[in-house]
Amino acid sequence: MTTAIVGWSHLPFGKHAEDTVESLIVKAASAALEDAGIEASDVDEIFLGHFNAGFSAQDFTASLVLQADPALRFTRATRVENACATGSAAVHQGVRAIESRDARVVLVVGVEQMTTTPGPQIGQNLLKASYLPEDGDIPAGFAGVFGKIAESYFQKYGDQSDALARIAAKNHRNGVSNPLAQMRKDLGFDFCREESDKNPFVAGPLKRTDCSLVSDGAAALVLTDASTALGMKKAVAFRAHAHAQDFLPMSRRDILKFEGCSKAWGMALGDAGLALEDLSFVETHDCFTIAELIEYEAMGLTAEGQGARAILEGWTEPDGKLPVNPSGGLKAKGHPIGATGVSMHVLSAMQLTGQASGLQIPNAEIAGIFNMGGAAVANYVSILQALR
């Protein structure tokens, strides 16, 4: 365990019409440094996770982090992007900088502002995370990509509408207690299960409640080496981290297996010397409910085609054998692309240090995080454990 999180911040996700990408970055970065008790002059390197893809007119955003404090001037700063896994990509770059001893203190910020973009353009921007030669004309944009996946899964394993509705209901129920979540409302199974004017079909068998929220937000972490972290007021160590990148075209792989997800989980658990049952909880990438369902299988919680058991039998509820998305996940929390992976690490660190208040999993000791870019293309897993 060479790297640890020693401070963090997390702005509420939702609509931030009064903000800009710059102001969101500055607020998150400043708050994380203050939380860690780290002076800006002590930061050796900065990584900014910002997908953008047209959401912001301001591109080339790495140096905006320097706006948080004049003492950050001349600090190495790099923008990192890997679709919806952009936040975790930035976090893992920070970890690698410390592991290589090229930096002692790293500031990681994830940000996105999506809600100021017109609806049709939002869909066009998100579709850029798919393989356009094959998927560029899919109706309903990126939701259409996962609608196709859901249709294929239903054809192979039967109608999973009950399981998807249970996942949506679970995550929205969890999100009620998350003050950082965009939607804090218990929608209930019946509402999520039935088509209605307020819950229409969006793509294939996916309804509105099966899709994550368009959101604005930012989150930030301060990372340092483990020996330095032991002298800090709090420290959450990376027991392992793994990244597996798969082919972009879905036609080149069995899209129902999320093999990159399985590979990343296998590498991370192996490096940590752990089994899945050793984890206290998991924060996983529920951009669509079908994604969480398949991720149950990919992480090894169930056999292929049996992911529904995990939700229908209560395994992934807060009091189940492996709680999944106690934060409410992307479904309730929102999904500002570049901030999502950083948010997962912040909320997991809060759990492991007993600071998750109403979300708290009792006696949480080890967290697993899975953040995904595209349709299981960029796959990042982190295993976290509190040092103090």
CB distance 206 to 161 below 8 Å: no
Which candidate in 50, 84, 192, 261 is catalytic? 84
Cα(46)–Cα(315) distance, rounded to whole angstroms? 38
172 labelled catalytic: no
Instruction: Provide the pLDDT for residue 264.
Output: 98
In a domain? residue 352: no
Residue 286 pLDDT exceeds 90: yes
261 labelled catalytic: no
Q: How does the average pLDDT of the chain come out, rounded?
A: 97
Residue 388 pLDDT exceeds 90: no
Residues 224-264: pLDDT tens digits? Answer: 999 999 999 999 999 999 999 999 999 999 999 999 999 99
In a domain? residue 173: no
Cα(164)–Cα(311) distance, rounded to whole angstroms? 9
Cβ neighbourhood burial of 357 (10 Å; 0-12, 13-18, 19+): exposed
Cα(358)–Cα(277) distance, rounded to whole angstroms? 24
**pLDDT band, residue 141 (cuts 50/70/90):** confident
Which residue, 79, 112, 8, is CA-closest to 338?
112
0.85 cut: is pTM over it? yes
- What is the residue whose two structure tokens read 């393989």? 131
- For residues 134-153, b (16+ Cβ closer than 10 Å) or e, as one string? ebeebebbbbbbbbbbbebb
- Give the number of domains in the chain: 1
In a domain? residue 258: no
In a domain? residue 93: yes
- What is the residue whose two structure tokens read 């085609």? 305
Stretch 30-36: mean pLDDT, rounded?
98
In a domain? residue 74: yes
3-state DSSP assignment of residue 307: helix
CB distance 10 to 182 below 8 Å: no
Query: Domain range spanning residue 30?
Result: 3-117+214-229
3-state DSSP assignment of residue 174: helix
Stretch 298-312: mean pLDDT, rounded?
98
In a domain? residue 203: no
In a domain? residue 309: no
97: domain CATH number?
3.40.47.10
Residue 178 pLDDT exceeds 90: yes
**pLDDT band, residue 210 (cuts 50/70/90):** very high
Residue 153 pLDDT exceeds 90: yes
In a domain? residue 19: yes
Cα(11)–Cα(343) distance, rounded to whole angstroms? 9
